[in-house]
């Protein structure tokens, strides 16, 4: 008995032109604070809301000499921005501690 690959031979559900993927937002305002910007379409001032929208959302904060990554986590059913901690080495994702401890 042959094993078929798990590939689905079907066309895309929507065109790639319509698919807009924004993996990481870059801003000079720490989340969840909103900030004003000039709209490129209308030229008018608009407010950008940085409220968390989905778990795993990533934002890069970059201002002067400070750069940090923030990620949205689900804490008790509430989406919250948390600053990522830079580490050197490998950790156990289930405990948050180095392996073997």
Residue range 62-86, pLDDT digits in tens? 888 888 899 999 999 999 999 998 7
Which pLDDT score, from 0 to 100, does residue 82 have?
A: 93
pLDDT bracket for residue 8 (50, 70, 90): low
pLDDT at 81: 93
Give the DSSP letter string of 40-72: TTT-SEEEEP----STT-EEEEEETTEEEEEEE
pLDDT digits (tens, 9 = 90+) for 25-44: 888 888 888 888 888 888 88
Q: What's the pLDDT score for residue 22?
A: 65
Looking at the DSSP bridge assignments, the partners of residue 72 are 81
Instruction: State how far Cα 20 lies from the chain centre.
Output: 14
């Amino acid at each position: 008995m042959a094993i078929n690959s798990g590939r689905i031979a079907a066309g895309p559900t929507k065109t790639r032109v319509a698919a807009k993927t924004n993996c990481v937002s870059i801003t000079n305002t720490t989340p969840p604070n909103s900030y004003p910007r000039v709209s490129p379409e209308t030229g008018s001032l608009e407010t950008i809301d940085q409220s968390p929208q989905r778990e795993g959302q990533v934002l890069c904060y970059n201002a002067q000499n400070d750069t940090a990554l923030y990620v949205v986590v689900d804490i008790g059913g509430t989406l919250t921005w948390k600053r990522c901690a830079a580490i050197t080495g490998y950790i156990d994702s289930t405990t948050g501690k180095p392996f073997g401890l």
